[in-house]
């Protein structure tokens, strides 16, 4: 079999997977099942979506108070915690206890014992457990299109962000909920955010917004 045929088969399979899951999700809305947490936080995922790149594109810096909204099994949480450092804080928020359990297990591993600045919170994006204007940055990796009422979730993100605070939305094409960058930009702007930057490529991008001062 030629390399071209193999690539064609892989692309065809990915396309069919995306169509099938999108059709199912159209009729039956649910968050990503917790069993995919293992894939989300795998070596393969990190190779495809490097945490360092996502952190840089999102504008995450030392000392920030950050919310990992829809953190899942924590694919990016520990790397972010190391970047924000001792002066910073990461709140890992997810609606599914089973996802947070996986992150808890990850944090209990020997290699993560140096991390002391992550707090896990089971909550919905509709009701974030933070005060008004209290957070420097909220990032969402392959989460926003999974939320049925995105406008409501974005309004809530706006509430908790400080003036000038950052919302970073990262999307990734193999995700069955993947939206085009233009769709994400429109959603953010409709919710009252100002577009700061759109980084990456079509299949893996981060749109960065700012809450107006």
Ligand X SMILES: C[S@@+](CC[C@H](N)C(=O)[O-])C[C@H]1O[C@@H](n2cnc3c(N)ncnc32)[C@H](O)[C@@H]1O
| Site residues, ligand X (CB under 6 A) | 31-32, 40, 70-72, 75, 94-96, 99, 124-125, 141-143, 146-147
Antiparallel, parallel or unpaired: β 135-141 and 65-69: parallel
120: CB partners within 8 A, 6+ apart:
92, 100, 103, 104
The single residue listed with the structure tokens 């700061």 is 196
Shorter beta-carbon distance to ligand X: residue 99 or 120: 99
* DSSP-assigned letter for residue 142: S
Antiparallel, parallel or unpaired: β 204-210 and 194-201: antiparallel
Q: How far is the CB of 2 from ligand X (least distance, A)?
A: 34
- CB-based closest residue to ligand X: 72
Q: Given strand 135-141, what is the order of strands in its sheet?
A: 118-122, 89-94, 65-69, 135-141, 161-172, 204-210, 194-201
Euclidean distance between CA atoms 83 and 119, whole angstroms: 15
Shorter beta-carbon distance to ligand X: residue 65 or 78: 78
Q: How far is the CB of 131 from ligand X (least distance, A)?
A: 18
Euclidean distance between CA atoms 120 and 78, whole angstroms: 12
Shorter beta-carbon distance to ligand X: residue 70 or 188: 70
Q: How far is the CB of 147 from ligand X (least distance, A)?
A: 5
Phi, psi of 70 (to 5 degrees): 75, 50
Shorter beta-carbon distance to ligand X: residue 136 or 146: 146
Q: How far is the CB of 6 from ligand X (least distance, A)?
A: 27
Q: How far is the CB of 4 from ligand X (least distance, A)?
A: 31
Shorter beta-carbon distance to ligand X: residue 46 or 162: 46
Asked whether the beta carbons of 193 and 210 are under 8 A apart, the reply is: yes
Q: How far is the CB of 213 from ligand X (least distance, A)?
A: 27
Class of residue 121 by CB neighbours under 10 A (exposed 0-12, middle 13-18, buried 19+): middle
Shorter beta-carbon distance to ligand X: residue 94 or 136: 94
């Amino acid at each position: 079999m030629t390399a071209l045929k193999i690539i064609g088969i892989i692309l065809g399979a990915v396309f069919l997977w995306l169509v099938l899951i999108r059709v199912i999700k159209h009729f039956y809305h649910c968050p990503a099942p917790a069993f995919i947490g293992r894939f989300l936080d795998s070596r393969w995922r990190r190779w495809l979506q490097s945490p360092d790149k996502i952190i840089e594109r999102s504008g995450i810096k030392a000392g920030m108070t950050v919310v990992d909204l829809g953190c899942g099994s924590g694919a990016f949480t520990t790397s972010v915690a190391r970047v924000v450092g001792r002066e910073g804080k990461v709140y890992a928020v997810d609606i599914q206890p089973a996802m947070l359990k996986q992150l808890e297990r990850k944090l209990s591993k020997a290699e993560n014992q140096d991390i002391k600045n992550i707090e896990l919170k089971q909550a919905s994006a509709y009701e974030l457990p933070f005060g008004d204007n209290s957070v420097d940055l909220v990032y969402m990796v392959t989460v926003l299109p999974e939320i049925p009422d995105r406008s409501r979730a974005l309004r809530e993100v706006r509430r908790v962000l400080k003036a000038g605070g950052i919302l970073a939305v990262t999307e990734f094409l193999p995700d069955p909920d993947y939206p085009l960058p233009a769709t994400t930009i429109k959603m953010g702007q409709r919710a009252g955010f100002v577009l700061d930057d759109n980084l990456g490529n079509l299949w893996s991008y981060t749109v960065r917004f700012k809450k107006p001062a």
